[in-house]
Structure 1
Amino acid sequence: MRYISTRGGGEPKTYSEALLEGLATDGGLLVPAQLPEVDAETRERWRGLSYPELATEVLGLFATDIPREDLAGLCAAAYSPAVFAEPVPLRPIGGGITLVGLSEGPTLAFKDMAMQFLGQALEYALERTGGVLNILGATSGDTGSAAEHALRGKDRISVFMLSPQGRMSPFQRAQMYSLQDENVHNIAVDGVFDDCQNLVKDLAGDLEFKNSQHLGAVNSINLARITAQVVYYFWAWLRATDALPAAERDGFEVSFAVPSGNFGNILSGFFARGMGLPIRRLVLAANENNVLDEFFRTGVYRPRSAAQTLATSSPSMDISKASNLERFIFELAGRDPQRVRSAWDELAAKGSFDFTADLPRFAGEFGIVSGTSTHADRLATIRAVHGDSGTIIDPHTADGVHVAASFVEDGVPMLVLETAKPEKFGETITEALGVDLALSDELQELLAAPQRVVEIANDEAALRELIQASALH
């Protein structure tokens, strides 16, 4: 299996090369030269596997340059009971909706599912090459803590994680800034997430600086994260169809609703669907920063400025420029790199690009529909789910449940991807339910721990200087 750039430049890469490179050398994103296919017989053979075993099978279709025994070891370490006590449980909450529990990891957010594998795989690849890697990333809340907890203390890796000042919950800040490991560098930028993401892309696009400073990525521009997330789509489908008679399983469709900011999580579902998993619909749930909802409803992609990006009660989705949309555009454009480049040239010149001619294909050929959720919707949904099932969901998951409700169909299970534990967003839960969530002693200690963070302006030169002073070489 080889990986090519959405913009057509560079030589095809192996999985390990894509893992270490992050952003392609021509500024595009790496995608499989061809998606692997999984037929019904193979899915049934996978039904009785544990999560680490299933991860080995699915990721083995992508990471063909990693010996299977080695890959099995990486997956066993990433998804061990010590890391995930209960990997990906499914919990019905009424109204034809089931939650897919992705927040059982160390940072209580779905990002752990891919990041724990990424941490194992990066260390493995660097040990084989004898190299070092300085991870440069941006987070709107959960990516940063998941990455730092997966990579902390690793000898060959340093992490430089950008976050927007004042735009994360106190819990999210504590999970990141309380880490005291020497290889973890938290950097709070005076701006919004998109400013942080732009800084990452600018430095990653400077090939001389990228190579001299050994820069890599853990944001969802890193293809390894996308492929690791594919695994839980297969797992969820298998668990949702376990009770069906064997004769009814082949081709049985489910729908997935995905709270979306950077389009990485739902892109993994798009890949799974392309591999043959029977997915009827992929329901994209946006918050008030609903640039992606606008695109999938109208065909026009019009990112907002930093000043227009709202601070909401689902802060991990406060994103107006979705990095992974380029991978979808590549497929929408018939895998024509010239059309992709033209779209991004148009975006740079006009602030938008237009695919309205392809609009019927979004829900038809690709199965993607979308909707928007507001703060009032989140509060009402948290109350309703708690009243109906006794389950407390976080505000991002509430966005998913709210939008999913409009697309529930008889006979088609609606699986909503849970994004985080509600404890991470206690203020919103208190506003919705009038209760304060009880925190474990461990979590209370986390919130009280001293924090270590460097604050900088939204300034590329300042970031370059900081990285040069502390990067591994």
Structure 2
Amino acid sequence: MRYISTRSLPGDPGAPFCDIVLEGLAPDGGLYLPVSYPQIGERLPELRRIWETEGYAGLGFTILSEFIDDIPAEDLRGICQRAWNADVFGSPEVAPVEELRDGLWLCHLSNGPTAAFKDMAMQLLGQLFEYELGRRGREMNIVGATSGDTGSAAEYAMRGRQHIRVFMLTPKGRMTPFQQAQMFSIDDPAITNIAVDGVFDDCQDLVKAVSNDLAFKAEHSIGAVNSINWARLVAQVVYYVAAWVQVTGSDEQEVSFCVPSGNFGNICAGHVARQMGLPIRTLLLATNENNVLDEFFRTGVYRVRSSDETLETSSPSMDISKASNFERFVFDLLGRDGERVADLFGVQLAQQGFFDLSETDEFRSLQEDFGFASGSSTHADRVATIQQVWDECGVMIDPHTADGVKVATSTEPVEVPMVVLETALPVKFAATIREALDREPEVPAAFAHLDALPRHVVDLPKDVEALKALIVSKVSTSPV
């Protein structure tokens, strides 16, 4: 399997998986995708049997084997087994499902080390990085950005691993107290937390600027853990298949998924699963008040917002107005025309801040060809939904998951099973839980004393040269 950029021109021979997993962003500024999607439609009975006999890790190995042919099979199987097991995720299913009411399901993805769905992919990425860096005898400096959960998931997955340093950018003051404590309490010389004076999109822009400086990237072995890294996204395909197996009784039965979305990585994995032949009827995208993606799927206009226009909400991990992974979907939507994608994302967005596909044949056939729909949610919706799910089902959900449940129950008629993807445990968003339920969320034992630990964080302005200087300084003083 070879991988090409979303901005590739015809004839690009592509690169192997292990090269692009270490590279992150493509040299032309695009994002990597496989040259074609492997098909699993005829293998659904086999995948169901593998789930029943080998569990989540066996299912993951089978799916990843379709995308990775430059890691020996037994090595890849071991990587999957170390990443996805009951010791790491608390249950043999790893991603168990629960029926909230007739036809509405919740897929639990937040039982990993940092209580967020990002652990599902990040645990695999940590294993892949350590394996491949060891095989090549080199080190990597990971530069990432987080709106809340990616950072802690990456740091918990990478800490203690050989050959790896982590530089994680966060929007100063924009994460919940729990999220800040979870990240900033890590005391490891190979992990540097950076609080940027701005919003998540500013952090993401700095990460991309570092990656786009190809000389600096090469000299300092810069890698990525954000969902611009294809390995993150392909790892998430696995739980779509696992959820489908658990909620269906036949290999022909369709399901729909509702996915709380900010950076478009989680739902993009669902898009890949659907393109591979998983019987998905609808991919229902749920946003909060920062509804850039919902606006596109309703109107065909993709208009990014400025930092000042990006609202601070009670589902802060979705306070994003530039969805990096959206470029991958648009590449497929436009028939994999890299030249058009480069114009839209590299020229039109830079010059005018938006692009408009509303009058194109591709947008008019979007629902039929790709199964996408969308909706948005407000703070009042989140509070009411958290209360309703607790009162009716006895299940406590976090605000982002509440965005998903709200959109799922108000947008899509339940003709097939609707699976809402859980994003985090409620403990990460205690203030909203108290507002909705007048009670404290349960604090898992692993997080009981986070608040008492000292903080390790560096303040930084929105300046790429300041970030580069910090990286150089840490590389010279912190061996890995």
Q: TM-score w.r.t. structure 2 length?
A: 0.95
Counterpart of 2:15 in structure 1 is 13
Matched, 1:359 2:363: yes
Query: 2:403 maps to what in 1?
Result: 399
Instruction: Note the C-alpha offset of 1:459.
Output: 1.0
State the partner residue of 1:217: 224
What secondary structure, in the 3-state scheme, does the structure 1 residue paired with 2:138 have?
coil
Q: How far 1:441 moved relative to its partner?
A: 4.8
Does the 8 Å contact 1:269/1:282 carry over to 2? yes
Q: 1:65 aligns with which of 70, 76, 82?
A: 70
Tell me what 1:108 maps to: 115
Matched, 1:76 2:74: no
**Alpha-carbon distance change, 297 to 449 in structure 1, aligned in 2, over 3 angstroms:** same
Would the aligned equivalents of 1:96 and 1:408 in 2 still touch at CA under 8 Å?
no
Counterpart AA for 1:276: G
Instruction: Select which of 238, 241, 245 maps to 1:234.
Output: 241
Deviates more, 1:149-158 or 1:433-442: 433-442
State the distance in 2 between where 1:343 and 1:152 align: 38
Is residue 368 from structure 1 mapped to residue 372 from structure 2 by the alignment?
yes
Give 1:162-173 correspondences, 5 Å limit.
162-173=169-180
Q: Please, what is the CA RMSD of the aligned residues?
A: 1.3
Alignment-derived partner of residue 468 in structure 1 = 472
One-letter amino acid matched to 2:294 = D
Equivalences for 1:187-202 in 2 at 5 Å?
Answer: 187-202=194-209
Between 1:188-197 and 1:332-341, the stretch displaced more is 332-341
Q: Give 1:129's aligned residue.
A: 136
Give the secondary structure class of the aligned counterpart of 2:8: coil
Letter of the 1:289 partner, please give it: N
Q: CA deviation at 1:436?
A: 1.6
Aligned to 1:35: 37
Alpha-carbon distance in structure 2 between the residues aligned to 1:441 and 1:61? 38
Give the Cα separation in 1 of the matches to 2:313 and 2:387: 18
Deviates more, 1:33-42 or 1:223-232: 33-42
Distance 1:410 1:399 in 2: 17
Letter in 2 for 1:266: I
The whole-number CA distance in structure 2 between the counterparts of 1:438 and 1:222 is 33
Q: Give 1:53's aligned amino acid.
A: G
The separation in 1 between residues aligned to 2:451 and 2:56, in whole angstroms, is 31
Distance between the aligned counterparts of 2:81 and 2:48, measured in 1? 21
1:327–1:108 distance in 2 versus 1, CA, 3 Å: same
Output the amino acid matched with 1:252. Q
Residue correspondences, number? 467
Q: Which residue of structure 2 lines up, in the alignment, with residue 24 of structure 1?
A: 26
The correspondence for 1:418, drawn from 419, 422, 428, is: 422
- Give the drift of 1:364: 1.3
Match of 1:256 in 2: 257
Return the alpha-carbon distance in structure 1 between the equivalents of residues 383 and 366 of structure 2.
30
Task: Describe the SS at the equivalent of 1:364.
Answer: helix
Deviation at 1:11, TM superposition (A): 5.0
Query: Contact (CA 8 Å) 1:260, 1:285: kept in 2 or not?
Result: yes
Using the aligned pairs only, state the percent identity: 55
Give the C-alpha shift of residue 361 in structure 1.
2.0
**What TM-score do you get using the length of structure 1 for normalisation?**
0.97
TM-superposed CA distance for 1:81, in Å, is 2.1
Partners of 1:92 and 1:204 in 2: CA distance: 42
State the 1:300 CA deviation: 0.4
Q: Which residue of 2 aligns with 1:455?
A: 459
Match of 2:389 in 1: 385
User: How far has the Cα of 1:460 moved from its partner?
Assistant: 1.0
SS at match of 1:176: helix
TM-fit CA distance, 1:76 = 0.6
Deviations 1:38-61 (A, max 9, x none): 023433443413011111001111
Q: State how far apart, in whole Å, the 2-side matches of 1:207 and 1:43 are.
A: 41
The equivalent of 1:154 in structure 2 is 161
Residues 160, 185 of structure 1: 8 Å contact kept:
yes
**Where does residue 291 of structure 2 map in the other structure?**
290
Q: What SS does the aligned partner of 1:18 have? A: helix
Shift in alpha-carbon separation, 1:143–1:451, aligned structure 2, 3 A = same
Q: CA deviation at 1:359?
A: 2.6
SS in 1 for 2:365: helix
Question: Which residue is equivalent to 1:55?
Answer: 60
- What are the Cα deviations for residues 386-435 of structure 1, in whole angstroms up to 9, with x where unaligned? 01100000000000000011244344000000000001100000000111
Contact kept in structure 1, 2:150 and 2:226, CA below 8 Å: yes
2:212 counterpart residue number: 205
Query: Are 1:314 and 2:315 an aligned pair?
Result: yes
Matches within 5 A, 1:426-465: 426-465=430-469
1:94 equivalent to 2:108? Answer no
- Partner residue in 1 for 2:335: 334
User: In 2, distance between residues paired with 1:359 and 1:295?
Assistant: 10
The code of the aligned residue for 2:87 comes to: A
After TM superposition, give the deviation of residue 342 of structure 1 in Å: 1.5
Structure 1 residue 442 displacement after superposition: 3.6
Aligned to 2:282: 281
> Matches of 1:442 and 1:34 in 2, distance apart?
42
In 1: Cα distance, 2:147 partner to 2:13 partner: 32
Q: For residues 257-272 of structure 1, what are the structure 2 equivalents within 5 Å?
A: 257-272=258-273
